[in-house]
Structures are given as structure tokens and as C-alpha cells.
Amino acid sequence: YIYNLPYAERKKLCRILDYNNVWEELGGIQMKFDVASLQQVGAARFRGQSPSDELLSLWGTQNHTVLQLFVLLSKMHHYQAMMVLKPLVDPKYHRLIYEGEENFSQILPANGPIKQPQESSIGSSSSKPTQLKADNKQIERDNNMDCTRKEWNQDKMVLKNPCAQNETAVADGLSPMISYVELEAATGAWDEKYLLGRGGFGTVYKGSWKNTLVAIKRLQVQKSDEGEIWKTHREQSLKELKYLNSCKHDNILALYGYSFGGPHDCLVYQYMPNGSLEDRLLCREGSKPLSWMQRHSIAKGTARGLQFLHTIGTKPLIHGDIKSANILLDSYLEPKIGDFGLAREGPLQQYTHVKVSRVHGTRPYLPDEFLRAKKFSTKVDTYSFGIVLFELATGLRAYDDYRKHKFLKDHVLSVEENQVCEILRDTRGGPDDLHIAGSLVKIGKWCISARPRERPEMVLVLHTLENGNATTDIIQAQYVNRNHSLQPAIQNDQIPRSDLQSVNKRTNHPLKVTISNSPDGNTGGLSPTRACRTMQRSPVGFPVQPTNTGSPVFLNAAESPPILIYPPSNENRPPSAEADTEVSGALPLISALGIKSETEGQITSN
């Protein structure tokens, strides 16, 4: 039943149906609700809720099923929404996604139509539940499903498609072919008022295709004196087509279709009403500044999309051009990574990088090992993401010719650690009670480490952003990198005292601590495995603040600012028989590893 829809699928479906108010067609035409009911559903928007969720709740009171909803979406030719419900319906009905409702009668059970659940008296629908028996009339198939049969050459992985006038494209699970005439109509014959942007590769237009707002990238026509340039742009478009078809994710820009063989080659994307992250950070066209929670959410979404690309196959897919201009924002400010023209496959797991013949990308976002030695790896994307984090924290451009330090990386690194929030924080973001700016800068510095092996993989970056314990994760990762291993070789691998002494020496006030016994009784070190098990998590960071007696106070992590280390008072303290060690730096590591403070006793974690 509808009311049993899993949370994740329901949320994703509602997000799709809310876009362009598709729920109105579903509720009014397919579900047959009257105007008053639809107005009541639409009012959910003013309460900050989803109208689609309200509609499903209302329809669900009549004991409708997921299969019935699946069929209604088929009548609307809304295949994107059908894909969300696909795992929840019997596989024999999956053909509706690919072949349309006219085949529904062929897959009904032999004993006739599916029995309808008994209708509840609750609800205001003006008709009985939709019958699943298919109409006899022939239903016109959607153009994006009607573009002739595709024949695959398995040896060359080449798609042969007569609709594209024998155009070939290297792609898996190819998006639908769209006629050039349709795209011309969608943009009012390429009317300049629909122009979104222009570049050397071509132009991008806003259009309405299949009653859906889209962004259409139209490539320039080849000129006689620009053969090589045109060829490069076309190869990038084919590459983008290939990768966007093979990588479907909430944080990767959706490719709706393509058009080859007409006067211009075109790619059709999901339309992003909030433009690029760069636009929003610079408040272009009078847009409101992003709040700190919005910036943090955008950072997490972008990291989630990147780690998906890096882990989806046997070889990582490296974007190669991560920057704020290529991070697009939908109506909910959910980030989508776009522009895969420079994407390439990375090395197999046993190798650190691949060598490339040419360097492409945007200079302020690229690390030295790629610019100078042409070493290409996932750590290139990590570095670029670090610069984006600096942009989110500061609101500044990645490169500014009028700045003393033209590159944003150099500008950020020139500021003392204790002045980051005071000098760098973008004041347009409003109050930063959770100290998100400082956390973004801290993680950004980690991402732009000079040595590639000292940079984290994006999976770990996402983990850190989601859990907010930046300092602990960074310190542990740095220790692991020094030992050339992702995990301790055995349960009780020890972190030496000398490592603790060198950790995070960014404060002038060392915290005096005593190392407690390790699990095996050895006081010479601590178990990183045990540390990982007991590590506390919080949205942003862990503080230490002094009491009147000078003792460190360990506050609730969920409501704390970033780390501030204060020294314990030495007054009226009896001499200790144990050898103690001065450690300056991160309290999260101290608390997670079970270090005993002389004033607080054993620190434990829940």
C-alpha cells in the first residue's frame, strides 16, 4: 500500500513530483481529485512541506497500492518517477517503463485484472480507484522511447542508431535520442531570451521539453579554421554522454537525452533553477547569500557525489574539473556535479596514479603534481574540492588578480590559524554559531596537502563533513598515512608517545596529560583500533574551555564550537608519581584514545 512506501523512496519520489508541480497532473488528471482537494494539497507548500507527500497521504487513505501508482506514472510517461518505484513492484510490470502502457494487457495475470483493494470511505476523490485494466486504444509512445531499436556491437561498444543518421557514441545505457526539431521548439527556435550561458564550446539554453524545464547545451558548428578545437569539444561531449549515462546519482547532474545528426549536436540536462555555486557565493543577479547550514549541506552533497564517482567501478572515475562553477544547485539547493567533459578513468587500486599526455582543467583548482608531472589520480579531485571548501568558507573567488595573494589557497594559508574565522569568514553568511567556516577551512587545508598521499580520499572527507569531527579524523588519517596503511595491521598496533607529542601543534598552551595503560597493559602507546571504536562524533567540533580552577571542561559535543585548548592550572597540585607527557593539540584525539587528565580522571566515550 502507498502508506507502506519506504521513507527513502517516498522522499525521492516526492522530490521528483514536486519539481515543476508534476503532482498537479498526477492528482487532478490521473487520481481524479477535485479542485478543492488539490488546493488543500497545494497549501502544504506554505507550511514548508511537500505537496506530493500530502497528495500521496490523501490517496493512500483510499487503500491504493504502489502498483497502481506505478501504472498512473506510466500513463504520464514519467519514467524517472517510475524508476524510483521499480524495486517495489513485480518485475513483470517493469516493461511499462520501457515499452509504455500499451503492453500492460500483455503482462496481466492469466486470471484477469489485478483485484482492487476495498475503497475506504475516507478521502475526497471524485471517482473510484483507477482500474488497472489497460485501455484497448493504442497509446502513442513517447518520442524518447520511439527512436528505433538499438543494435550493439559488443566488440567496439558502438551504438548504431538510424535516428542519429548513423552517428555513433560510446556509451552504456544510452539516454534517449531527441530530435533536433523538438529541441528547437523547446527553446523558441533558440531565442536569445532563453540563453543561460555562452562559451567556446557553444551555448546553453533554457527550454521546455515534454512539459519539463531543461538546460540544452548546443555545440557550435564546425568552422573551417577550427577543426581541431571543434573535434576536441565534440569528443568532450561524447565523453560526457558516456559518463553521465553510467553514473546516476542524486548529486550528479541528470542527463535527459541527446541529439546528434542535426544542424547542431545537443545535450539535454536537468534544469537547475539556482544556477551554479559560484553564482550563489557571489550573489549574482541579486540572489540571497547562502547561510552556513546551506553551505555545509552543499559541501556534503558535493563530497557525496565525488566519492560515488571514485568508488563506483573497478577504476575510479575522476572528474578533473571540480570547481564552484561546475557545482549546480536545484530548487532545494541540493548540489549536482556537472560538466564531465574532462573526466577520465583513474588507475587500478594497486597504482597511485596514471600519467596523462595533456593537462586540462582550471589552474587555481589543480595541484602541482598534476600541473607539473601530469600525475592524475582521485587526489586531484580531492585538492579541487579543498579549494571549493575555501570558497564556501570565505565567499571569495578561487583567483583574484586584485588580491595580494591571487590564488585563494595562498590567501587562506597566509592567515594564522587562530585568526581564520575573524579574517576569512564570509560575513554575508550570517551568524556562524556552529563555527562551520572554521571547520570548512580546516578540512580544506587537509584536502590541499602538498603530497597527494597526505590528502584524504573523498569517502573520508564525506565522513568527516557528516560527523563534524574534523580534527580527530585528520589526525588519525595523518598517522595512518605515515604508516602506509589504511588500517592497523593487528588489533594492538601502538601509537608511540612521540606521535602524540607532535600531533596538531597549533596552540601555545600545551595540555598536560598522563597516558593510561593500553589494552595489553603496555603504557608505551595506544591502540588506534580501540580509538576508532570509542571515537565521539558531533556536528562540528569539540571544545575545551577553562573553569575557574583551570581544569579542562569537556562540553557536550553536539552544541560546541571548534577546538580551543587551555592549560590546566598548576596551583595546589600534588606532585605526580607517574611520568607525564605534554601534548598540545586536539582534545578529540585525547578523549577518544583514553588519555587520562590529571584533573579530570579517565576520559571515556559512550
pTM: 0.54
Angstrom distance (rounded) from CA 226 to CA 224: 6
Residue 24 domain-assigned (yes or no): yes
Residue 478 domain-assigned (yes or no): no
Residue 475 domain-assigned (yes or no): no
82 and 193 belong to one structural domain? no
Q: What is the CATH number of the domain that holds 378?
A: 1.10.510.10
Top-confidence residue, 412 or 102: 412
Q: What is the CATH number of the domain that holds 18?
A: 1.10.533.10
Angstrom distance (rounded) from CA 232 to CA 466: 38
188 and 281 belong to one structural domain? no
The answer to whether residue 509 scores a pLDDT higher than 90 is: no
Residue 356 domain-assigned (yes or no): yes
**Nearest Cα to 148, choosing from 122, 167, 124?**
167
232 and 185 belong to one structural domain? yes
pLDDT digits (tens, 9 = 90+) for 243-286: 888 788 999 999 999 888 788 889 999 999 999 999 999 999 89
Q: State the catalytic residues.
A: 321
**Nearest Cα to 292, choosing from 105, 182, 435?**
435
Angstrom distance (rounded) from CA 222 to CA 219: 9
Q: Which domain holds residue 504?
A: 491-602
User: By three-state DSSP, how is residue 582 classified?
Assistant: strand
460 and 531 belong to one structural domain? no
Residue 473 domain-assigned (yes or no): no
264 and 249 belong to one structural domain? yes
Angstrom distance (rounded) from CA 349 to CA 546: 47
Look up residue 97 and give its three cell numbers: 517503463
307 and 455 belong to one structural domain? yes
Task: Tell me the Cα Rg of the chain.
Answer: 28
Beta strand segments in 246-311, E: 255-259, 266-270
Look up residue 38 and give its three cell numbers: 488539490
Confidence of residue 477 (pLDDT cuts 50, 70, 90): low
501 and 453 belong to one structural domain? no
Residue 355, marked binder: no
List, in sequence order, every residue forming a beta bridge with 583; answer none if it has no partner. Answer: 511
**Nearest Cα to 518, choosing from 528, 506, 533?**
528
Angstrom distance (rounded) from CA 333 to CA 297: 9
pLDDT digits (tens, 9 = 90+) for 285-337: 899 999 999 999 999 999 999 999 999 888 889 999 999 999 999 999 999 99
Residue 485 domain-assigned (yes or no): no
> Range with the lowest mean pLDDT among 318-322, 425-429, 501-505?
501-505
Residue 483 domain-assigned (yes or no): no
Angstrom distance (rounded) from CA 140 to CA 124: 31
Total domain count, the chain = 4
Angstrom distance (rounded) from CA 240 to CA 343: 8
CA dihedral 501→503→508→510, nearest 10 degrees, is -50
